[in-house]
Chain A
C-alpha cells in the first residue's frame, strides 16, 4: 500500500469535507488582504485571471482575496436589470463587478457556506453602497433560490470544492430561467496527479484534490440538462496559486512537495472557463 501524505484528512464523507473546506476558508476570510503565502501578488493574480485594472479599482477594497482562478464575468453578456447568482461568492469580488453590469435595477445574489466570508462581503456591499448585491449563507448543493429566477449563474473556483458536483449543477439548472447561462471558472484535472497531492486535505482546500477531469465535468453538466457546453479558455494552474486558497497555518502543517511533484501538478491541472446554457 502506498504511504499517504500526513495531512490526509479526506475521509470521503461529504460532511467532513465540507467542514474542512468551511474551516479553511473561514481562516482565509480573516486575512486583511489576499494571498500572503509568498506567492504572486494580488494584482498579478487578478491580471492572470483576466481582470482589468479598472475592475480592481471599482470594487470595494478587500473584496478581492485572490481565491478565484479566472474571471467568469469577462465573456458573459449581461444587461441592465438582470439577475445574477454567484455560487461560492467569497468576499464578493465577482458579485460587485456583476452589480455594476446589471445596474441599480438588477439583482446580484451571492451564496457562500462560510459565515465569515458572507459577513465580510456584506460589509463591503454596505461600504460601496451597492444595494443591488445581497449575500446569503447557504450551500451551493441546496440553493435557497426560487426556480427559474436567475439570468446568469457564475462561479469562480468553487465547484471543485463540492463533494457533490452533480447536485450543484442540478441546482444551477433549476434556478436558471429558460435561455439562461452558466459561466464558470474552475479547476479540472488534465493529467495524473501524484497521490500525495490527490489525497491531501490541504490540496483539497487548494482546489486541486477535489477537482474532476474535464470530460467528467462536461458529463455532469450534460446530465443536469445543460446544453451548448463550451470550453472557452484553459490555462495551467500551478501549485503556488493553489497555495493562496489555503490558510498559512494549514500550509505549514501540510506536506512539503518535491520539485517533481510541483512539476507534475503544473502539467496535470488546468483552470478553465466553461459556458453552458439552459435552452428554451
Chain B
C-alpha cells in the first residue's frame, strides 16, 4: 500500500484513524514508498490490522478469514 493512501483508510469497525508501523517497504517507480509489511493500529479502539505482502488486511476482528496464510 502507498503511504499516501493511509489518509483515506480507517478502522472498519469504529472508523477511527490509523497509525502505521512499518517492517518492510519498497520504493515505487514514482519514488513513493510502498508498505509491504507492517501493522495499522486504530487510535480509537486499538485493534491491529496487519499489512502483509503489500495488502492491508482490514477484516473486522471476529470475522473469519479465508485461510491462514
Binding site for B on A (CB under 8 A): 15, 18-19, 22-23, 26, 83, 104, 107, 109, 111, 113-116, 118-119, 122, 129, 131, 134-139, 142-147, 149-150, 174
Contact = CB atoms under 8 A, between A and B. Distances in A.
Nearest to B53: A119
Interface of B: 1-2, 5, 7-13, 15, 28-30, 32, 34, 49, 53-60, 63-67, 69
A150 B5 CA distance: 12
Nearest to B68: A115
Contact of B9 (A115, A131, A142, A145): A145
A129 to B, nearest CB: 6
Given A83-B8, A144-B9, A139 B60 contact: yes
29 contacts: A15-B63, A18-B64, A19-B64, A109-B8, A111-B58, A113-B66, A115-B65, A115-B67, A116-B66, A119-B55, A122-B54, A129-B29, A131-B29, A131-B32, A131-B34, A135-B55, A137-B57, A138-B57, A139-B12, A144-B11, A144-B58, A145-B8, A145-B9, A145-B10, A146-B8, A146-B9, A147-B10, A147-B15, A174-B15
Nearest to B15: A147
A139 B63 contact: yes
A107 B5 contact: yes
Contacts of A139: 12, 59-60, 63
Contacts of B59: 113, 137-139
Contacts of A119: 53, 55
Contacts of A23: 66
A92 B40 CA distance: 23
A137 B54 CA distance: 11
Contacts of B29: 129, 131
